[in-house]
A and B are shown apart, each in its own frame.
Chain A
């Protein structure tokens, strides 16, 4: 099979129905105007959406569950396929892979679960008003880290193979040569989506955030009306494709060592509090600053890549209606020399 080929909508749905019948296939479906993942049955295959922006849930949920036993460790045994992550989700994978599988110490379940997950990403064609991938160097279409990538055309899909795992998944799918016209259509759709994201963000100045945010740790600097609306719910942390913070909870008995790993959020007041009560970040503004510094500065140093993929979930899910782009424009860009 060629790296990029074409399959008709009917062929794809027929193929996917068989896959959904045989194993765990998750697809992004419409739920009140938002995309959510559900485990597909063959009859639900026609409901999968391929043209909108990213689903509500971040891809990390498939690899790094909200709550999981790490002692004894869970051994993933099921192969799964997820259809619908966008490029911004894939960008987050590079940080997850680095943290849980790339260092001296490996997470007890992540590497196996990652190996068993086949990721079928889709080109984003209708960005949300909260999307800003283009501002952080991520394109609205996937260029790497996918097993298979789909570009929805009017009557079918361009199917790009990104890995051996992806090629194996596609065995049995009827395809034909992509053809120059369809490849040109794909290029036009991609450029249109990228332009749309840039237009959505034309009012924000988000240039060079990683260079400019460095060292802006003082709480006073972040004490703005927008930030003061934060209710410290942790929605931005939990929805973020790159937030990896977790806590460990001992759940055993005096005779047994058992540990659960749960997501944690750096905006929670107790996040960094030690025995005795001391905490390095007492105020909301310090915690808010820490979150953005972690994304745009610390992760760059730690992992070589910005910890923000522009997915906009932190904006869409914010109870305090804080637009991070506005905060970054005001606090970071407008007050630092270029």
Chain B
């Protein structure tokens, strides 16, 4: 837990320094028409670096927080949700939103929930269909599409 605290604070520190440096190169002083573009973000970066440094010191000095950031069991549970979700996002680029969400729902329900095939099929086919009706027909919003929708003429 302490390591996680320190790593997070270090990452924030790096972000803070990057903000300050980026704004510094942009000009963070007083321009012809008032404060320059980098003025506000520069000071944000400086303050963020200060708070992150203080957080690092605080985390290093605290001894009371014990235990790992994530137990193995918890990691597995989180990964079971996180990995398929990221996978579904990658798939959207190839096959579009509808097929991707159908596959994602089916995989998750079968693999994690161990539901019956009938239920899996109903939910994973029904959700994209409902989405299609709501977005493409009611709101006429285009969702990302893949080869199948093109083949169907959309």
Binding partners A and B: no
Residue ranges of B at the interface with A (Cβ–Cβ < 8 Å): none
